[in-house]
Amino acid sequence: MSAILSTQDIVVRFGVLQAVSQASIEVVEGRVTGLIGPNGAGKTTLFNVITGLQEPTAGKVFFDGKDITNKNPFKRARMGIARTFQKLEVFGSLSARENILVAAEQRKTWDRSGFDPNQVCDEILEKVGLSDVSEFMVGTLPTGTARLVELARALASNPKVLLLDEPSSGLNEEETEEMASLLRKLVEEGLGVLLVEHDMSFVMGTCQFIHVLDFGTIIATGTPAEVQANAQVQAAYLGTETVVEAS
């Protein structure tokens, strides 16, 4: 399996602070790749670099075999990278349905397959389980539901790779389980997912492959079992094994 999305030695510096240093990660289609690390490890910054919201100080981003390091965010989206945000970035004054519709209509500008945005929108609403609230303004919806709207919006642009920034925060246990099964369904359909998440049982349960980021550096890479067994990871991030089991 070759990676559809990869970063190569990404460095991001904010003044004297090095947020990301030489981070190289890979995302493969058809599986969930986890990106974990303590708060402030640089996970969201790396997301921003991949989607073009943050210019890296050094390093390159490759997608589908092309160097996209200097491309505009909207061009990357049109190539097939979609994302959600850690802090909600929904279109609060549009209805849930319109949030998704706007993305589906936008897809028309580069996807000439002749799909019907309204139909795509309805399918995704159904898939994510938002049909009941589709006509409500997103600003009036609870945080957990709004998160699903964000996910649905990302799916509406028919991405090849989906970047999820803490999708389970704000969700209750049941919703988290639904989110996990949705992710499994999506990767079965061939989507590549990069997942930033704090909920360890969620990460260990859904990811097939994990990168561990600490102080901007990738300290470990491997399967969930390998990562859990890694001594450096335990010391830097997980603390002790008991924490993993407890959460």
Report if residue 216 touches another protein, rule: CB under 8 A.
no
Residue among 54, 134, 168, 230 that touches another protein (CB under 8 A): 54
Residue among 9, 64, 67, 89 that touches another protein (CB under 8 A): 89
Instruction: Give bridge partners of residue 28 from the DSSP assignment.
Output: 3
Comparing CA positions, the residue from 141, 149, 160, 7 lying closest to residue 85 is: 149
Report if residue 48 touches another protein, rule: CB under 8 A.
yes
Instruction: Give bridge partners of residue 68 from the DSSP assignment.
Output: none
Report if residue 22 touches another protein, rule: CB under 8 A.
no
Q: Among the candidate windows 6-14, 107-115, 218-226, 235-243, which touches another protein by CB under 8 A?
A: 107-115
Report if residue 191 touches another protein, rule: CB under 8 A.
no
Report if residue 64 touches another protein, rule: CB under 8 A.
no
Report if residue 14 touches another protein, rule: CB under 8 A.
no
Report if residue 83 touches another protein, rule: CB under 8 A.
yes
Residue closer to another protein (CB basis): 172 or 223? 172
Residue among 20, 49, 101, 210 that touches another protein (CB under 8 A): 101
Report if residue 242 touches another protein, rule: CB under 8 A.
no
Count, residues in the chain: 247
Number of residues engaging another protein in binding (CB under 8 A): 50
Window 128-187: residues binding another protein (CB under 8 A): 135-142, 146, 150, 153-154, 156-157
Q: At its nearest, how many Å lie between another protein and the CB of residue 175? A: 17
Angle at 193 between CA 211 and CA 76, to 5 degrees: 105
Contacts with another protein by CB under 8 A lie at 48, 51-54, 72-74, 76-78, 81-83, 85-95, 98-99, 101-103, 105-107, 109-110, 117, 135-142, 146, 150, 153-154, 156-157
